[in-house]
Chain A
Amino acid sequence: MTVTTAGVLFILSLVVALVAVHKPFGDHMFRVVSGQRHSRVERGIYRLVGVDPAAEQTWGVYARSVLAFSAVSVLFLYGFMRVQNHLWLSLGFDPVMTHGAWNTAVSFVTNTNWQWYSGESTMGHLVQMAGLAVQNFVSAAVGIAVAVALVRGFARRRTGDLGNFWVDLTRITLRILLPISVLGALALMIGGAVQNLSAGTEITTLTGGSQTITGGPVASQEVIKELGTNGGGFYNVNSAHPFENPTRWTNWLETFLILLIPFSLPRVFGRMVGQNRQGYAIAAVMAILATASITLTNVFELTGNGTVPQAVGAALEGKEVRFDVSNSATFAAATTLTSTGAVNSFHDSYTALGGGMLLLNMMFGEVAPGGVGAGLYGLLVLAVITVFVAGLMVGRTPEYIGKKIGSREIKLASLYFLVTPALVLIGTAAAFATGNNSTALNVGPHGLSEVLYAFTSASNNNGSAFAGITVNAPWWNTALGICMLLGRFLPIIFVLALAGSLARQQPVPASEGTLPTHRPLFVGMVVGVTVILVALTFLPALALGPLAEGL
């Protein structure tokens, strides 16, 4: 079998697996977020937290609950890292310095998992498992909860109620994320991922050198890192590390876990609004963009243009033998199309156009299929913008799933869309204006790509990196922290406000003039709107970076 055939089969097998599970798994998620019965454990949690699970929240209360939970999480995580030297399993590491702790606290709470540090030399095991990995779960649950609240806005009528954040958080964590994590972690352990509390084993190598075989609760963190589209690696080299991603099949499994929830959520949307075909239309948009991107990334990497790849004979710098070029490219596309940011190969050493493709994936705002929850609400906002654009073309009041898209709705959708480009472009400009771009490892267009990638990754809550840039500095840690915070919570506020105003409406019955939003025409339009909006926003920046380098 040729390299290309094997690479294509790898992608096809992922597609088949996702098609097979999205329905039963999506139905399971639907039952989780719409069920009314609470298990004994859940009732115990509600009592400990002190909330009434039957109480419904308006969008404002829901948003304030999200923000309160996230604010407390940031503070807790910050404090945790600052005192880690006094705690169990600190491995003798110093407390994390202020700007670094701020950056990492924000990074994990916002589901970004951008990492300025090397896990193996900065974070003790306790901070990793009881601090960072907890956020891997709950930040993912927050994303799904917000998406579900938006869908309730479409599904409900003449009400202010959007559900209860604490109930959503608890049920999503306990019934969706935790069970899959346990099974997935066991599978990864069978593959060879480590799961222990060892501080490291000092050994003497065959030729008399010394090596420290590191330990840690890796498998338990690895699985939720992928499933929750978080991406923060236990070790510096993330999923390229043999202890995080030991074999060829664990690599397949991790790629699958990254895509599982994002591609199953459209099913939840379809079920909740009572029209499965609306979910399929959304899934189709995601699938079209994802397939195109994964294919192009593979083509660029396997072609291997550029001086060094030509000299080497393959774009193999920064890639593992067991994954080789194609499976690395597929993983890289999956991780940037979602908001994961885990890497099994190093994007900085990708071909110019391959790396540019990864940058573009994030610039799409991570809607194909996007992060858990964030992808669905991002794409629904784009669908709202699309019906508005379509409404302008034919001169009718735009409506989506029976809800009118009036001036308040389109304002919120537009604000949502504008947040990340503003953060990315202002941040990149600020880095150059203040001379902080000088920490980039590479010069010329590739140096610009490194800075642009950093801000794109942070603002879109992706967390992957063109890792050549040195970001462990007060300016970078602070600036990227601000981008992550605003890039996560401003959109969430806009989405919940949108949900609130949709839920208040009485649905309008579909008429002759209603644009059907489940047909290929609409799917094509959403794809078009997404591509055009992103292209108009980012093309000038891309032209100076990857395009200048690759053409």
Chain B
Amino acid sequence: MRLPTWLAQHLAALRALLVFTVLLGLAYPLALVAAGRIPGLADKADGSLVSAGGQTVGSALIGQSFTDADGNPVPRYFQSRPSAAGDGYDPTATAASNLGPESVVDTIATDPEESTLSLLTQVCERSKAVGELNGVDGRRPYCTTDGVGAVLAVFRRDGLTGPVTRVVSVNQVAPAAPFLARYEGMPVELAQPGEDYVAAGGLVTPIRGDAPAEPAVPADAVTASGSGLDPHISPAYAEIQVERVARERRADPAAVRRLVDSHTTGRSLGFMGEPGVNVLELNLALDRQFPAR
């Protein structure tokens, strides 16, 4: 029996797909899984697992949260970057924040559960917290001293132009004090939960403030990574944590600093990427050399 051409064609297509599925979908990956059993490669193919005291405690490539059950940082450990993966560093729910560069207005609902923070406020909050934890200046441009985005909704008589009629600090609610007393002569109000000042016609106006252009808290300490699993922090973020960790462990800061240096990976071939400190491996080394008493 001769099949009609169109059917013969689809039959050939199906056969081709099955052949390639066996070849490329089974033989190829499984051969590589087998190759991954070669000594020397096996540890890596299995996920670069690291152990302490006979227990597997993580992967050298996957970051962890060094926080207690309530989510507060454990001060004797170097802290990782913020993470948007699940509740933080969850490899089964990897994610980035996906918030944009002009995400600056919080949604403050009457029910605090429904409020969402803008990226700017998250950055300001983290900067303040990291500053306090490490005893450095946590101020940043466009942040209030109480750690939210310094953003005004400015209402003008003619919409975009004309004299200012009303000014609201959109990310601050009572009992905070407005970060700015007056703006173009008008007193600055606090936001009321549940109000949408942008929809009401207020012009979003971030205020730079007088924070230093190069804040003491480094950039990676206040931003979430793309993977949510970033195993590294910048050497600068490690540096501001050295004194605290040394104090907690009653160790010599210089010795801790040397340990940081030995866990810092530089650029590949001198020009690829940027240096980073592997936080999990550093903390493991600290536990070995300076066990907390």
Judge whether B232 and A320 touch: CB under 8 Å.
yes
**B140 in contact with A311 (CB, 8 Å):** yes
- Nearest chain A residue, comparing its CB with the CB of B87: A209
Q: Which residues of B contact A134 (CB under 8 A)?
A: 17, 20-21, 24-25
Q: How far is the CB of B216 from chain A (nearest CB, A)?
A: 11
CB pair B28–A206 under 8 Å, yes or no, is: no
Name which residue of chain A comes closest to B51, CB basis: A203
Question: Is A235 positioned at the interface, with any CB of B under 8 Å from its CB?
Answer: yes
Given contacts A219-B32, A308-B120, A310-B142, contact A6 B225 (CB under 8 A): no
Number of B residues near A (Cβ < 8 Å) is 112
User: B193-210 vs A: 1/0 string, CB under 8 Å?
Assistant: 000001000000010100
CB <8 Å contact, B65 and A209: yes
* CB of A243 closer than 8 Å to a CB of B: yes
Tell me the minimal C-beta distance from B17 to chain A in angstroms: 5
Q: Is the CB of B95 within 8 A of A237?
A: yes
Distance A240 CA – B268 CA, assembled complex (angstroms)? 17
In the bound assembly, the distance between CA atoms of A322 and B272 in angstroms comes to 9
Q: Does A48 have its Cβ within 8 Å of any Cβ on chain B? A: yes
Q: Does B39 sit at the interface, judged by CB under 8 A? A: no
Q: Mark A36-49, 1 if CB is under 8 A from B, else 0.
A: 00000000010011
Which chain B residue shows the least CB distance to A170? B16
Binds A, one of B100-108, B167-175, B242-250: B100-108
Interchain CA distance A72-B6 in the complex, whole Å? 13
Instruction: List, in ascending order, chain B residues with CB within 8 A of A467's CB.
Output: 96, 98
Per-residue contact bits, chain B 252-279, to A (CB 8 Å; 1 contact, 0 not): 0000000000000101111111101000
Q: Which of A201, A312, A346 contacts B47 (CB 8 A)?
A: A201
Bound state CA distance, A133 and B21, in angstroms? 9
Interface contact A207-B271, CB-CB below 8 Å: no
Q: How far is the CB of B129 from chain A (nearest CB, A)?
A: 15
Decide if B187 is an interface residue (CB 8 Å cutoff): no
A182 to B19, CA, bound (A): 18
B229 lies within 8 A of chain A by Cβ: yes
When distances are taken between beta carbons in the complex, the residues of chain B under 8 Å from A206 are: 52, 57-58, 64, 66, 77, 280, 283-284, 287
Known: A201-B56, A308-B123, A313-B215. A236 touches B94 (CB 8 A): yes
Q: Contacting A212 at CB < 8 Å: which of B28, B92, B142, B271? A: B92
Q: What's the nearest-Cβ distance from chain A to residue B1, in Å? A: 14
Q: Name which residue of chain A comes closest to B14, CB basis.
A: A72
Contact B227 A65 (CB under 8 A): no
CA–CA, A344 to B280, complex, Å? 22
B124 interface residue per 8 A CB criterion: yes
B228 at the interface (CB under 8 A from A): yes
Q: With A166-B16, A211-B89, A215-B47 as given contacts, are A317 and B97 in contact (CB-CB < 8 Å)?
A: yes
User: Contacts A137-B20, A189-B32, A252-B268; is A306 near B101 (CB within 8 Å)?
Assistant: yes
Q: How far is it, in angstroms, between the C-alpha of A170 and the C-alpha of B61 when the chains are bound?
A: 37
| Cα distance, A348 to B234, chains bound together (Å) | 23
For residues 1 through 44 of chain A, which have their beta carbon under 8 Å from a beta carbon of chain B?
A: 1, 3, 5-6, 9-10, 13
Q: Of the candidates B120, B215, B223, B273, which one forms a contact with A307 in the assembled complex, judged by CB atoms under 8 Å apart?
A: B120
Select one of B17, B92, B119 contacting A214, CB under 8 A.
B92
Q: Is A549 an interface residue (CB 8 A)?
A: yes
The A204-237 residues at the B interface (CB cut-off 8 A) are 204-209, 211-215, 217, 219-221, 235-237
> Roughly how many angstroms separate A331 CA and B279 CA in the complex, as a whole number?
25
Residue from A169, A213, A348 in contact with B98 in the complex, judged by beta carbons closer than 8 Å: A348
If A130-B25, A217-B29, A466-B98 touch, does A317 touch B47 (CB 8 Å cutoff)? Answer: no
| Bound-complex Cα distance A425 to B224 (A) | 33
Given contacts A13-B271, A248-B267, contact A204 B55 (CB under 8 A): yes
A185 on interface, CB distance cutoff 8 Å: yes
CA distance A320 to B74 in the complex (A): 23
Contact, CB under 8 Å: A173 / B20: yes
Whether the pair B229, A196 counts as a contact (CB closer than 8 A) is: no
Residues of A within 8 Å of B81, CB to CB, are 321
Assess the A120–B94 pair: CB atoms within 8 A. yes
B128 to chain A, nearest CB (A): 12
CB of B45 closer than 8 Å to a CB of A: yes
Contact (Cβ within 8 A) B273 A311: no
Contacts of A204 in B (CB 8 A): 55, 57
Listed residue (B28, B36, B68, B101) with the most chain A CB atoms within 10 angstroms of its CB:
B101
**A192 lies within 8 A of chain B by Cβ:** yes
* Complex Cα gap A473–B180 (Å): 43
The answer to whether B44 has its CB under 8 Å from any CB of chain A is: yes
Is B177 in contact with chain A by the CB < 8 A criterion?
no
Cβ–Cβ < 8 Å partners of A466 in chain B: 98
Min Cβ gap B190→A in Å is 21
Q: Please name all residues of chain B whose beta carbon is closer than 8 Å to the beta carbon of A291 when the two chains form the complex.
A: none
By a CB distance below 8 angstroms, the chain B residues around A5 are: 271
B176 at the interface (CB under 8 A from A): no
Q: Measured between alpha carbons, how far is A350 from B99 in the docked complex, in Å?
A: 9
B101 to A, closest residue via Cβ: A306
Is there an interface contact between A189 and B35, defined as CB atoms closer than 8 Å? Answer: yes
A133-B25, A248-B267 given; A468·B99 CB < 8 A: yes
Instruction: Kindly name the residue among A50, A205, A240, A307 whose own CB sees the greatest number of chain B CB atoms within 10 A.
Output: A307
Q: B101–A169 contact, CB under 8 A? A: no
Q: Cβ of A312 and Cβ of B98 under 8 Å apart?
A: no
Determine if A72 and B10 form an interchain contact, defined as CB atoms under 8 angstroms apart: yes
Q: Is the CB of A130 within 8 A of B99?
A: no
Look across to chain A and name the residue whose beta carbon is closest to the beta carbon of B276: A321
Q: Whose C-beta in chain A lies nearest to the C-beta of B41?
A: A189
Most buried by B among A134, A191, A200, A201: A134
In the assembled complex, B132 has its CB within 8 A of some CB on chain A: no
User: Bound state CA distance, A537 and B149, in angstroms?
Assistant: 37
Tell me the bound Cα distance from A192 to B11 in angstroms.
41
Chain B residues with CB below 8 A from A346, complex form: 96-98, 226
User: What is the bound-complex CA distance between A3 and B236, given in angstroms?
Assistant: 14
B230 touching A321, Cβ below 8 Å: yes
Interface centre among B47, B218, B222, B233 (most CB of A within 10 A): B47
- Quick one: CB contact mask for A147-173 with B, threshold 8 Å, 1 for yes? 000000000000000000010011001
Bound state CA distance, A37 and B271, in angstroms?
44
Residue of A69, A73, A318, A355 with highest tally of chain B CB at under 10 A:
A318
Given contacts A349-B96, A468-B99, contact A195 B36 (CB under 8 A): yes
B58 touches A211 (CB 8 A): yes
Cβ contact within 8 Å between A327 and B272: yes
Q: A292-336: contact bitstring with B at CB < 8 Å (1 yes, 0 no)?
A: 000000000000011111111111111111111001100000000
Q: Cβ of B104: which chain A residues have Cβ within 8 Å of it?
A: 307-308
- Cα–Cα distance between A190 and B61 once the two chains are bound (Å): 13
> Would you give the 0/1 interface string for A41-70, flagging 1 where the beta carbon is closer than 8 Å to chain B?
000010011110000000000001100110
Supply 13 further A-B pairs (C-beta < 8 A) apart from A129-B26, A130-B25, A247-B273. Answer: A10-B271, A178-B28, A191-B44, A196-B36, A198-B46, A206-B283, A213-B49, A219-B45, A251-B272, A308-B101, A317-B96, A322-B265, A346-B98
Listed A/B pairs (11) with beta-carbon separation below 8 Å: A50-B12, A118-B93, A121-B92, A204-B57, A209-B65, A310-B208, A312-B219, A318-B97, A318-B225, A321-B81, A350-B101
| Chain A positions near chain B (C-beta within 8 angstroms) | 1, 3, 5-6, 9-10, 13, 45, 48-51, 64-65, 68-69, 71-73, 76, 118, 120-121, 129-131, 133-134, 137-138, 166, 169-170, 173, 178, 181-182, 185-186, 189-198, 200-201, 203-209, 211-215, 217, 219-221, 235-237, 240-243, 246-249, 251-252, 305-324, 327-328, 343-346, 348-352, 355, 441-446, 449, 466-468, 549
* Among all A-B residue pairs, the 3 with the closest Cβ atoms: A248-B273, A306-B101, A130-B25
